[in-house]
Structure 1
């Protein structure tokens, strides 16, 4: 067996936390909480807490796996190590699809945030999203260290913008009665909202895919996941409560928080600041998803699940250019579709199935190696499969079809390495 090139271990605990926050605090904070409000109505806080519970179970399973098998690739590698070839490949395939859809949502949201100031057709939103995606792809090609430094700035400015939005929302006159719609289907609306909000937490998976790049992964990865989850839950609860001050959303651009702020009555500066923060945050998400997806493509190419040329690293061993460009191409296809809600729903279904495989792999860890109780992984597995049922049926059918296509590809290509 030939030895593969290894990536430089350049990321410490603070860097891993910042990468996790950068992967989460973006589209999740500035867009997806609005999707949750549309489905859960006045029950949005409960939907956030439910999503946080499910995500915490999955995060602990991911931390358990990453601590004992610290390599780039996340559940793709865990599936091969602890489960079967088919489940390992399926995990990698689902990761690429899910995270590409999340990145496409973020890119489209950037377009809506910009056109929200002056209006414009959907094609302009798509064009803006594509240009942003290309620019960030070039940044990723500069290497992880450069991207990590940029990410630290993006996260800080994004959190500042969210605090401004929350403060502005709480300063609004309290409505006589909540104007949000009744939750759709009672518990069904709550569970559908939790399914979409779960995606907004899954940036911790970005940390788990960095096993080959993190210093002392057994120590850093679990702690980075826990700290990231605590911070994000508090932020989402504040945003969810703030959104109860606004009427129901009627347009796609309404889901971008900055567009909810009226420019009049002295709020023009506030809207400008929140818009800038939204742009920064979503660029941070795209940046980290480009890194995460390209790392999984790198791992798949090393195992010959994808063409081996995608596994070639640059001379500094900080990135895999061919894998990064393929990541860009997949994301651009989804941006071209141009449907904000559809992209996020597709990400929700595929990522829920992906983390079902994560929990299944965690259940195979030997008791002597385990520091997370088995019941947490069982709860994570059942909750992921349960929430997946409440995603839009068209999305579910499409996702299952793509999983089948991927498995056909794998069966025709697979050869032991």
Structure 2
């Protein structure tokens, strides 16, 4: 795409892209998702984590090879349109925008739970959405700079938490091995834990702003995911060892509780708040760019396709997103937001795997078997989520499809 008036500037290198991917994953998920996973799977949550990681790896390989071929804003929305057709592309884009808007609410609420006093948590969450939307508004290079600082602090604190939590735990390592295993519970926990992984392809949605995208994007996606998989396995094992399955399932802040009474506990709470802000920052950037791509193709109102003449960002899309996100945090529940977000994002990646399956041999970076496994895995995990999340997701998807169908009918009459 030529560097025209409506194009975004290519400013991000490999390091910035990896950091944005890490900050999208090492966010509220690692501090919030282990508790609901333990509630449905007990000690089997580590098996669920492995399943979620496997599905995430399949999705990442698909996203990486697609992003190398289509280095433009929009991620799987663009890939679905190019490889499968307009309707699959719309399904992916709509699922992403809706699911990730729910993720924004979850990230903001997690921040507020750690940083705000009782009674002020929801207003603080809304303020966080608006403030970070303002950071994105003035340019993606500032997004990358802030993300680099946040992810460095959070990873260091998590590694310290692993060290201290394991050192102070009074349980035997046998607690890490489930005595009874419900495979439905494991799958449901994997679907919930997928919420914590789903930021790895945020780099792909920024494809129009990455330098040398064919080389940088695949490398950044797989590097960020691999690092996060290792970190999550360490943290998940630590909180399970320190708290046990029952106490973990009831915990509102499991990582902080795992190091309670030590010098590290206050730092963990600060890191949790920073992690949530870092993930929220990257989420806002990714959703804005996908909305831009959908508006360019007429799948969202065309006025959302505007790019700011100075800051080179989709400013109208980001303003709308900020308002919607600020309203959501005033009415949604954190655990419901996690389930609803996972449902939308799993459908998004199912389309990504299907699109990657159709790529010709010279564009492929992984065997087609991974894409088949990715599609099946995404659909199984989506179906295994809590019924309220599945029902809500289906209703919102039908509403989006109805909007697109109605718009097409009106256009055909004209």
Q: Which structure 2 residues correspond to residues 32-111 of structure 1 after superposition, within 5 A?
A: 32-111=33-112
Contact 2:34 2:248 in 1 (8 A): no
Contact 1:130 1:332 in 2 (8 A): yes
Q: Which structure 2 residues correspond to residues 1-400 of structure 1 after superposition, within 5 A?
A: 5-115=6-116, 120-121=118-119, 124-175=120-171, 186-244=182-240, 245-247=242-244, 248-249=246-247, 254-255=252-253, 257-262=255-260, 264=261, 267=262, 269-400=263-394
Contact 2:44 2:177 in 1 (8 A): no
Contact 1:62 1:358 in 2 (8 A): yes
Contact 2:239 2:258 in 1 (8 A): no
- How far off is 1:180 after superposition? 9.3
Instruction: Give the Cα separation in 2 of the matches to 1:113 and 1:375.
Output: 42
- Over 3 Å counting, the alpha-carbon distance change for 1:250 and 1:243 in structure 2 is closer
- Over 3 Å counting, the alpha-carbon distance change for 1:70 and 1:41 in structure 2 is same
Contact 1:302 1:308 in 2 (8 A): yes
- How far off is 1:164 after superposition? 2.2
Instruction: Give the Cα separation in 2 of the matches to 1:173 and 1:346.
Output: 34
Contact 2:73 2:208 in 1 (8 A): yes
- How far off is 1:182 after superposition? 7.1
- Over 3 Å counting, the alpha-carbon distance change for 1:27 and 1:252 in structure 2 is farther
Instruction: Give the Cα separation in 1 of the matches to 2:279 and 2:382.
Output: 23
- How far off is 1:221 after superposition? 0.8
- Any idea what the Cα deviations from partners look like across 1:120-146, whole Å, max 9, x if unmatched? 24xx22111111111111111110011
Instruction: Give the Cα separation in 2 of the matches to 1:408 and 1:139.
Output: 34
Contact 1:161 1:278 in 2 (8 A): no
- Any idea what the Cα deviations from partners look like across 1:328-375, whole Å, max 9, x if unmatched? 123223312231100000011111111111111111212232222111
- Over 3 Å counting, the alpha-carbon distance change for 1:50 and 1:251 in structure 2 is closer
Give the structure-2-normalised TM-score: 0.92
Contact 2:133 2:322 in 1 (8 A): yes
User: CA-atom RMSD, angstroms?
Assistant: 2.3
Instruction: Give the Cα separation in 1 of the matches to 2:301 and 2:5.
Output: 15
More helix by share: 2
Give the structure-1-normalised TM-score: 0.92
3-state SS of 1:337 partner: coil
Misfit runs of 4+, over 3 Å = 176-185, 249-253
3-state SS of 2:329 partner: helix
Contact 1:27 1:282 in 2 (8 A): yes
- Over 3 Å counting, the alpha-carbon distance change for 1:128 and 1:83 in structure 2 is same
- Over 3 Å counting, the alpha-carbon distance change for 1:303 and 1:161 in structure 2 is same
- Over 3 Å counting, the alpha-carbon distance change for 1:151 and 1:177 in structure 2 is closer
Q: Which runs of 5+ in 2 are unaligned?
A: none
Instruction: Give the Cα separation in 1 of the matches to 2:61 and 2:248.
Output: 37
Instruction: Give the Cα separation in 1 of the matches to 2:319 and 2:249.
Output: 33
